């Protein structure tokens, strides 16, 4: 499988250095998907300005007359952060879910996602932190990897008086449901590089892996997480 | 309209004093809905023990052979907190949404909700904080009031290095979508009492009201929020 993914925890356009390394020698043109934010023009301008400093040209899918055709011709795709529900609904409304999966898994074009863009690259958006501001036709997502990610993973604050559930409790509740896949909690500053059947944790922070019915495990940056890519976990 | 509601921000069985005042002279028997947590037996036991100290008998809807019939015969309903998506899906699976609406709005039985139980009492669950661990058939909810609530409303922490959206930003993103109703942010310790066409903010903390295209407003405990109950806001 030609799969080549960079899945970043943070919501904004961080990880520039990794991104440059990731996409270099692959493409100089990136198709940007701004669907997670309301103001697509402003978001595309921000992305275009940022990528220009890294040496990339950006086309925004919302500026093209035919989004499906734009994906078919894309040399690389970057989906930015914002609201995951809005993003997934827009991807389905524009009929891009299947097309992106095909381009990335079969044709091998590089995929970069940050926050919501990372969520939609996994099996489903069941482990997003976002508010469900719109109703997508399903929570099933693009499925570039056979597990889920929780971006912006946050450790419980022992001094907090807030009575809502901790992030860990929420993910444990997810695993109370039947047939739920692994969840990789990516803290701020963390990202996952996937090259074919190899997955490596990059960045400056540890990641926390939740597996249904098993103990949770912490992984240091640099860890080989390729075992997550086999379907039978 | 005979409507009589107590909608609490907190997730657990707090607000006992208010609750006692609220339901007294109305009923000594409460139908409890434990659908928001996975272990319904344990949750019902907790609720039963707690309500016993307040002088109430508790029937749990999950222990009855016919949930719809149990709602039809209920003298009062309490829906506890947990995961809002799981709760709403279970309410639809058990065909209780319409029946609860009818019993509360037409027959006037008292309704108490906390956290997730407060979310499902409003127009929709679009402003829950919970993780979307299951996919309900719609985000539309019981609709006992014509606006939405965000329980556990949390002010932004200026010292936080977390890069995810603040609660306020999330609600503002909701209001970027068309035709979205008011959102009342109920902080921990806050609750809304609704009696017919009168709504009063109770508890120990202020509430924050978000209206699409307008400034947000803070309300002190004791404030009359009856204007929220008119459909044309």
Residues B150-193 pLDDT 10s: 999 999 877 766 667 899 999 999 999 999 999 999 999 899 99
User: What are the pLDDT digits (tens) for A152-177?
Assistant: 999 987 776 666 788 999 999 999 99
- Judge whether A184 and A150 are in contact, CB under 8 Å: yes
- The answer to whether the Cβ–Cβ distance between B133 and A154 falls below 8 Å is no
Could you tell me if the ipTM is greater than 0.90?
Answer: yes
Check: CB of residue B181 under 8 Å from CB of residue B147: yes
Which of B12, B126, B129 is nearest residue A133 as measured by Cβ atoms?
B126
Q: Do A131 and B128 touch (CB under 8 A)?
A: yes
User: Is pLDDT at A116 greater than 70 in this prediction?
Assistant: yes
Using the predicted structure, report yes or no on whether residue A18 has a pLDDT greater than 70: no
Least confident of A120-124, A194-198, B161-165: B161-165
B11, B132, B170 member nearest A125 (Cβ): B132
Relative to beta strand B4-8, strand B111-114 is: parallel
Q: How far is CA A21 from CA A12, A15, A16, A25, A110, in A?
A: 18, 10, 9, 9, 12
| Residues of B annotated as catalytic (active site), given as ranges | 115, 130, 152
Give the span between the Cα atoms of A82 and B192, in whole angstroms. Answer: 31
Q: Which two tokens stand for residue B51?
A: 């309500």
Cβ contact A163–B152 (<8 Å): yes
- The stretch A204-232 carries a mean pLDDT of 92
Active site residue A124: no
Backbone angles phi, psi at B154, to 5 degrees: -125, 125
Q: Cα–Cα distance between B3 and B194 in angstroms, integer? A: 7
- Reported as a pLDDT band with limits 50, 70 and 90, residue B55 is confident
Write down the domain spans for chain B. Answer: 4-229
A49-53, B158-162, B214-218: which has the minimum mean pLDDT? B158-162
Average pLDDT score, chain A? 91
Q: Residue A144: phi, psi to the nearest 5? A: -80, -20
Asked if residues A151 and A119 have their Cβ atoms less than 8 Å apart, the reply is: yes
Residue spans of alpha helices (H) in B94-220: 97-105, 116-119, 167-174
Mean pLDDT of A130-148: 98
Q: Give which of A34, A21, A33, A26 is closest to A3, Cα–Cα.
A: A26
Share of chain B above pLDDT 90, in %: 79
pLDDT at B232 over 50: no
Please state, in angstroms and rounded to a whole number, the distance separating the CA atoms of residues A50 and A10: 15
pLDDT at A24 over 70: no
Question: Does CATH place domain B4-229 in 3.40.50.880?
Answer: yes
Of the CA atoms within 13 Å of residue B147, those in its CB half-sphere come to 26
Q: Is the pLDDT of residue A13 over 70?
A: no
Residues 6+ away with beta carbon under 8 Å from B83: A170, A173, B36, B37, B116, B130, B131, B133, B134
- Give yes or no for residue B15 having a pLDDT over 60: no
Q: Given A115, A121, A124, A190, which residue is catalytic?
A: A115
Rg (CA), chain B: 17
Hey, what CATH topology would domain A4-154+164-229 get?
Answer: Rossmann fold (3.40.50)
Query: pLDDT tens digit string along A67-79?
Result: 999 999 999 999 9
Residue A1 CB partners (closer than 8 Å, separation 6+)? A105, A196, A197
More confident of the two residues B97 and A53? B97
CA distance A7 to A123: 13
The stretch B10-16 carries a mean pLDDT of: 60
Following CA atoms A28, A34, A36, A40 in sequence, which dihedral angle do they give, to the nearest 10 degrees? 160
pLDDT reported for residue A16: 57
User: CA–CA distance from B228 to each of A24, B48, B117, B121, B213 (Å)?
Assistant: 55, 33, 19, 14, 16
Catalytic residue, candidates A11, A94, A121, A152? A152
* Mutation target vs B (from A120, A133, A140; most B CBs, 10 A cutoff): A133
More confident residue, B92 or A25: B92
- Phi and psi angles of residue A226, each rounded to the nearest 5 degrees, phi first: -60, -30
CA A22/CA A8 separation, integer angstroms: 12
**Per-residue pLDDT tens digits for A67-112:** 999 999 999 999 999 999 999 999 999 999 999 999 999 999 999 9
How many CA atoms does the CB half-sphere of B1 hold within 13 Å? 19
Provide mean pLDDT across the span A221-230: 96
């Amino acid at each position: 499988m030609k799969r080549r993914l960079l899945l970043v925890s943070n919501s904004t356009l961080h990880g520039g250095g990794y991104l440059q390394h990731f996409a270099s020698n692959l493409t100089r043109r990136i198709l940007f998907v701004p669907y997670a934010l309301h103001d697509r023009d402003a978001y595309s301008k921000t992305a275009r300005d940022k990528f220009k400093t890294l040496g990339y040209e950006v086309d925004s899918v919302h500026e093209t007359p035919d989004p499906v055709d734009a994906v078919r011709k894309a040399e690389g795709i970057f989906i930015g952060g914002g609201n995951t529900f809005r993003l997934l609904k827009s991807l389905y409304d524009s009929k891009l879910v299947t097309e992106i999966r095909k381009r990335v898994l079969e044709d091998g074009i590089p995929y970069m996602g940050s926050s919501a863009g990372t969520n939609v690259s996994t099996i489903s958006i069941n482990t997003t932190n976002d508010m469900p501001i719109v109703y997508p036709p399903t929570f099933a997502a693009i499925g570039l990897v056979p597990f889920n990610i929780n971006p912006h993973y946050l450790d419980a604050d022992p001094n907090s008086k807030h009575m809502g559930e901790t992030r860990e409790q929420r993910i444990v509740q997810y695993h109370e449901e039947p047939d739920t896949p692994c969840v990789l909690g990516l803290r701020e500053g963390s990202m996952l590089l996937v090259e074919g059947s190899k997955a490596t944790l990059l960045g400056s922070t540890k990641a926390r892996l939740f597996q249904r019915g098993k103990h949770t495990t912490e992984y240091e940056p640099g860890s080989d997480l390729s075992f997550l890519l086999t379907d039978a976990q």
